[in-house]
Structure 1
């Protein structure tokens, strides 16, 4: 009997040191908003209660739908969202974030987007997440997906304890593009050889900063721009799921985050 020869192992691609990929998280890499799941996990651990949020959620939703948001408003709401961890240690929140990822986030990863990230890794390229999500949580998501790293919003700490304030700007909109350019400069990347992925028109500056832009599960504004500029569109949503996917994004990244913080501020009065 002649035994079949084993298939030779495919050697890994040599590192491609000047090309990389950048992925937004909410509704791009993950179904819904990471802060939404994070808040749910913290609520389950009695960081706050549902009743604390009830009086604030509707007001936050109305604010978001009113179209009167500006950069300072965004920063204020994110700082309030971070205020509910003030006084907690980095070690404690990191451990809890690991648990919350396993409980609520792991099964929300879009398999199609993860495959795109793996495609870049297989080509020897580095892959970063770029998100307004706090960097500690973003780093956990990146590590669990086997990616290179993450760029995220930085919460101030002193002696390993959160103060509830931000360091620098919220990583949102144009700030993402600035962060990507700074990373490219540090790492010797050629942005013309890099690729960026996002679902949101807010990330058009980041998408425009690289040589290849891909709209993933795009909102209406990004879809229009992608079509006009000839950017590739990947939509992993189907039917009713596509219609619903924007809801947790709004509640999680904006209204819920602000409501969580407002609820905690209310409790402390």
Structure 2
């Protein structure tokens, strides 16, 4: 991806909605620049529908659990950082997913990509390919994947929209044969990550900014577009399109979807999963995964 311009210092740093706008614009620019890396579909592709597209959240919508945590687990197994670092990262993920308000995002932003600071971009991308195959490929929701394929079969482009770093999001998109991905853009200088972000994490309003910015660049009619997510934090993105679908929704999003007449698709099994909601499940899963890695290290 193209290298980002360094962010302004603390005194001139953009805040709030301006950060969201910058994050969205940067994500859309990165998505357009790299959309040609997605795997191509069948030779006999359907007639293109150039003004309609679909946007899919990743964590707990397209994939079970948090993609960035699976990535961190893979890096931990390669001794990129210590077990205590992974436990701290897991806790930050729990707070971010369960809270997800503006103050939580601001705090999470400061450490979100610190673990790749100083690392070569190409190296991280190569590791991302390996880790996807090891830890993520079997976590894709078949039902959500089928929904994405439905749009592809109709000649529409399909984009992932996620807080996950855009490089990892693009790997997931390529593996699934999708058009591309909108993700968090990490600053790099001379092909090396600085550990800072361009704008902020692509979360909440920033996702809506990214979708709108991409629509302008690609000539999309958002009234003809669809969006899919599990989280109430993605209501801004869901509200930006003509068709909103709540997939494996948390309790708040389920209520909003019912009030607004949005479609609801739940691919989880059992009533307990629907009652608990994804954020709680993610928190438990993240902690359990981190503890398991910790035990493995101590055993070695």
TM, length-normalised to structure 2: 0.75
Q: Structure 2 residue aligned with 1:144, among 175, 183, 201?
A: 175
Asked whether 1:20 is paired with 2:57, we answer no
Mapping of residues 168-179 of structure 1, within 5 Å: 168-179=199-210
Counterpart CA distance in 2 for 1:252 and 1:133 is 18
Q: 1:20–1:126: 8 Å Cα contact kept in structure 2?
A: yes
Q: 2:119–2:192: 8 Å Cα contact kept in structure 1?
A: yes
Of residues 240-249 and 184-193 in structure 1, the stretch that sits farther from structure 2 once superposed is 240-249
- Alignment CA distance shift 1:196-1:66 (3 Å): closer
Counterpart CA distance in 2 for 1:81 and 1:45 is 19
Equivalent residue, structure 2, for 1:38: 71
Deviations 1:89-121 (A, max 9, x none): 001000000000000000000000000000000
Deviation at 1:251, TM superposition (A): 6.8
- Alignment CA distance shift 1:216-1:146 (3 Å): same
Mapping of residues 58-97 of structure 1, within 5 Å: 60=92, 70-97=101-128
Equivalent residue, structure 1, for 2:27: none
- Alignment CA distance shift 1:41-1:16 (3 Å): same
Deviation at 1:244, TM superposition (A): 7.6
Mapping of residues 199-214 of structure 1, within 5 Å: 199-214=230-245
Equivalent residue, structure 2, for 1:265: none
Counterpart CA distance in 2 for 1:59 and 1:138 is 22
Counterpart CA distance in 2 for 1:139 and 1:155 is 13
Q: Structure 2 residue aligned with 1:220, among 247, 251, 254?
A: 251
Equivalent residue, structure 2, for 1:229: 260
Counterpart CA distance in 1 for 2:285 and 2:166 is 16
Q: 2:229–2:247: 8 Å Cα contact kept in structure 1?
A: yes
Alignment gaps of 5+ in structure 1:
1-8, 260-269
- Alignment CA distance shift 1:223-1:153 (3 Å): same
Q: 2:109–2:200: 8 Å Cα contact kept in structure 1?
A: no
Of residues 209-218 and 243-252 in structure 1, the stretch that sits farther from structure 2 once superposed is 243-252
Asked whether 1:48 is paired with 2:73, we answer no
Q: 2:160–2:169: 8 Å Cα contact kept in structure 1?
A: yes
Q: Structure 2 residue aligned with 1:113, among 136, 144, 149?
A: 144
- Alignment CA distance shift 1:203-1:52 (3 Å): closer
TM, length-normalised to structure 1: 0.83
Counterpart CA distance in 2 for 1:216 and 1:234 is 5
Q: Structure 2 residue aligned with 1:123, among 154, 178, 181?
A: 154
Alignment gaps of 5+ in structure 2:
1-41, 291-300
- Alignment CA distance shift 1:100-1:195 (3 Å): same
Task: State the secondary structure of the residue aligned to 2:155.
Answer: coil
| CA RMSD across the alignment | 2.8
Number of corresponding residues: 246
* Bigger Rg, which one: 1
